[in-house]
Chains A and B, each alone.
Chain A
Amino acid sequence: MRYRKYLISRLDIFIALLLIAAVLYIGYRINVGLHYKWNWKIIPQYLFRYDAENEKWVANLLMQGLFTTIRLSAWGTVLAMFIGTVMGLCRISQSLFKRLVSGTYVELMRNIPPLVLIFIFYFFVSEQFLPVLGVEEFVRNSSWPVQWVMAVLFAPPTLLNEFLSATVTLAVFEGAYITEIVRAGIQSVEKGQWEAACAMGLSKWQQMRYVVLPQAFGRVLPPLTGQFISTIKDSAIVSVISIQELTFQGMELISATYLTFEIWITVALLYLMLTLPCSMIVGRIETYVNRFLSVGLHDFVRRG
């Protein structure tokens, strides 16, 4: 990689000035046109507050929401990876039945608005399915350390059922995109590789496991990381079923304090704090993978 020195032209300066002017003008309009009383002072206390009783700093509403968002996205991605891998393999399987099942799944998920899916899942699916498992009862009646671990990894016992339904919903939705990533990754491995592996006398499963999948894995890593970022962003949708993640906590705070602009801006910055490092990691992974494989992977199945 050779870096070219960038020269800042007059046009760049002009455009930058225009942008700054636009931002300032919007701020001015909000101040003057709406008579909006900015009150940034009280925002930090909603991120962290000093607990006088225990003499330490603790996370407050917005940070708690951020942690929930992270948990939700992390578990959602793990589960979606599992679903996506299984379904992705089904998409290219020999059996027509498997292809039909996985095809139906992908088309259904990709053609129904996530909001509608979430409602359907939450009110119909999770209600029939989760109480049967009895997770909540189990956690409620379990010992203190178990409860604590569950609370750190998932959610406090009170909100566990909701959290699990939201995670499953998110995973099933994101899984459709991961399915396509996996399928495209496997199909991008040249036919010659299969043939060579076959010539070595490997069985179908061994060809897949030792030759094709390792190569496919390297190629799908960048889009998978991109999908993780999408999952973080999509997790905001579950605020509609009252999961207490960042967006929901933000809305609740607005209801209580009426600080519409400050809180939405803060929430946006918190999301950026999560997703921007991920984006940089994607860039890193891409250069790394390309160096080893010298194959540019096409950006498949991206959503707008």
Chain B
Amino acid sequence: MLLIIALMGCFSGCSNEPTPTAPQAESALERVMKQGVLRVGMSTFVPWAMKDKTGRLIGFEIDVATRLAQDMGVNVEFVPTKWAGIIPALITGKFDIIIGGMGILPNRNLKVNFSIPYDYTGMSIVAHKKLAEGFNSLEDFNKPGVSLAARLGSTAVTAARRFMPDATLSLFDDESQAYQELLNGRVYGVVGSAPTPGFQALKYPDKLFLPLSDTFTREPIGFALRKGDVDTLNFVDSWIRVVEEEGWLKERKRYWFDTRLWEPMIQ
């Protein structure tokens, strides 16, 4: 079943290549200004975007998108979307922009336009204490018979295939399912964007551990926009440069990734 979703998610975008300007003749920017609302596609991903106790969205990406809409003088509307289908949803005009910690990948870039990076992430591995005993390098995991889990359609999949091609990889729609699989002892480790694997290791210290001391990739993260829309792309690029220089991005990043001050908001 997940496989079907995966295939649909991957191919519904590739198999039928819509003309770049099909859904709208005007730029997304014009439409946003006219309607007074910026529609942002995102997916739940701790601590990038998640729902707090009251059902409000919070997280690093949410702050970024809210500030972007604020600086445009419009309201922001979030459209929670399954990660596997998020690019087709953008192409078919379900929202104007993806602000969801999307890693800039060449094959993704063939379908959508990316802004300049506003954030960098790296992949890390959290492993099962019993199964992966003594593992402390990527080579240890790169063996037939070693199984890993990751989130469907994420850059974790790309990284795992590149660095550990011999391991078997099982894919899940949500990261939480991948971690559940690990806790159940059905996989040796989970590959995911830092800092979540580290948080999981802290949460279950008697079952999980971090085999690598640091992330093993460094990936640029950008906003994704529909192709053929230069105006909007230019606007978000400039906006990223501005808030970068302000130091605002760094400050937000520190709050969401290096502190746990927000924990009480979701539990």
Contact A244 B80 (CB under 8 A): yes
Q: Find chain B residues with CB under 8 A from A61 CB.
A: 51, 55
Q: Is the CB of A123 within 8 A of B88?
A: yes
**Which residues from B are CB-within-8-Å of A35?**
183, 204, 206-207
B174 / chain A contacts, CB cutoff of 8 Å: 251, 254-255
Say yes or no: is B45 at the interface (Cβ < 8 Å to chain A).
Answer: yes
A contact residues around B162 at 8 Å (CB): none
Interface status of A195 (Cβ within 8 A of chain B) = no
Contact present for B45 and A255 (CB under 8 Å):
yes
Are the C-beta atoms of A34 and B51 separated by less than 8 Å? no
The reply on B267 being an interface residue by CB < 8 A is yes
Q: Which residues of A contact B219 (CB under 8 A)?
A: none
Q: Which residues of A contact B180 (CB under 8 A)?
A: 258, 260
- Tell me whether A255 and B12 are in contact in the complex, defined as CB-CB below 8 angstroms, given that A35-B183, A64-B55, A127-B92 are known contacts: no
Does B252 reach chain A (CB closer than 8 Å)? no
Measured in the bound complex, the distance between the Cα atoms of B81 and A159 in whole Å is: 11
**Residue of B with least CB distance to A59:** B55
Q: Which residue of B is nearest A118, CB measured?
A: B8
- Tell me the B12-59 residues at the A interface (CB within 8 Å): 12, 16, 23, 35, 37, 39, 44-46, 50-51, 53-55
Which of A36, A51, A240, A254 touches B5 (beta carbons < 8 Å)? A240
**A34 touching B54 in the complex, CB below 8 Å, given contacts A123-B88, A158-B77:** no
* Cβ contacts B148-186/A at 8 Å (1 or 0 each): 000000000000000000000000011111011001100
Knowing A34-B184, A35-B206, A252-B80, the reply to whether A127 touches B85 (Cβ < 8 A) is no
Most chain A beta-carbon neighbours within 10 Å: one of B8, B46, B79: B8
**Binary contact readout B91-106 vs A (1 if CB under 8 angstroms, 0 otherwise):** 0111000000000000
Q: Do B4 and A251 have beta carbons less than 8 Å apart?
A: no
CB of A255 within 8 A of CB of B92, answer: no
| Interface residue from B39, B45, B207 paired with A158 (Cβ < 8 Å) | B39
B266 at the interface (CB under 8 A from A): yes
Q: How far is the CB of A164 from chain B (nearest CB, A)?
A: 13
A45 close to B (CB within 8 Å):
yes
Q: In whole Å, how far is B182's beta carbon from the nearest beta carbon of chain A?
A: 10
Question: Bound state CA distance, A60 and B89, in angstroms?
Answer: 26
Q: Does A119 contact B (CB under 8 A)?
A: yes
Chain B residue numbers with a CB within 8 Å of A257 are: 266-267
Asked if A258 contacts B179 (CB within 8 A), the reply is yes
Residue of A with least CB distance to B206: A35
Shortest Cβ distance from A61 into B: residue: B55
Which residues of the other chain, B, contact A23 by a CB distance below 8 angstroms? none
* A7 within 8 Å of B (CB atoms): no
The yes or no answer to B1 lying at the interface (CB within 8 A) is yes
A residues in contact with B253, CB < 8 Å: none
CB-defined contacts of B177 to chain A, threshold 8 Å: 254, 260
Size bin of chain B's contact surface: 35 or more
A6 to B54, CA, bound (A): 48
Are B79 and A260 in touch, CB under 8 angstroms? no
Contact with B along A108-131 (1 / 0, CB 8 A): 000001011001000110010001
Q: Give the complex CA separation of A158 and B176 in angstroms.
A: 27
Residue B82, interface by CB 8 Å: yes
* Interface class of chain A by DSSP: helix
Contacts of B55 in A (CB 8 A): 49, 60-61, 64
Note all chain A residues with C-beta closer than 8 A to B54.
49, 51, 60
Nearest CB on B from A257, distance (A): 6
What's the Cα separation between A241 and B176 when bound, in Å?
A: 19
Contacts of B23 in A (CB 8 A): 127, 131
- A256–B55 Cα distance when bound, in Å, is 11
A255 pairs with B176, CB closer than 8 A: yes
CB distance from B10 to the nearest CB of A (A): 12
Cross-chain contact of A253 among B1, B5, B51, B94 (Cβ < 8 A) = B51
Residue A242 CB within 8 A of the other chain: yes
B8: A residues at CB distance < 8 A: 115-116, 119
Q: CB-CB contacts of A81-116 with B at 8 A, as 1s and 0s? A: 000000000000000000000000000000001011
> Is the CB–CB distance between A123 and B12 below 8 Å?
yes
Q: A209 interface residue, CB < 8 Å from B?
A: no
Task: Among B12, B44, B77, point to the contact of A252 (Cβ < 8 A).
Answer: B44
Q: Please tell me if the beta carbons of A255 and B44 are within 8 angstroms of each other in the complex.
A: yes
B233-267 interface (Cβ within 8 A of A)? 266-267
Q: Are B1 and A242 in contact (CB under 8 A)?
A: no
State how many angstroms separate the Cβ of B200 from the closest Cβ of chain A. 8
Are B79 and A242 touching (Cβ within 8 A)?
yes
**Chain A residues in contact with chain B, CB under 8 A?**
34-36, 42, 45-46, 49, 51, 60-61, 64, 113, 115-116, 119, 123-124, 127, 131, 140, 158-159, 161-162, 239-242, 244, 248, 251-258, 260
22 A-B residue pairs with CB within 8 Å: A34-B183, A34-B184, A36-B183, A49-B54, A64-B55, A116-B4, A116-B8, A123-B88, A127-B92, A131-B93, A240-B5, A241-B82, A241-B85, A242-B79, A242-B82, A242-B89, A253-B51, A254-B174, A255-B44, A255-B45, A256-B266, A258-B176
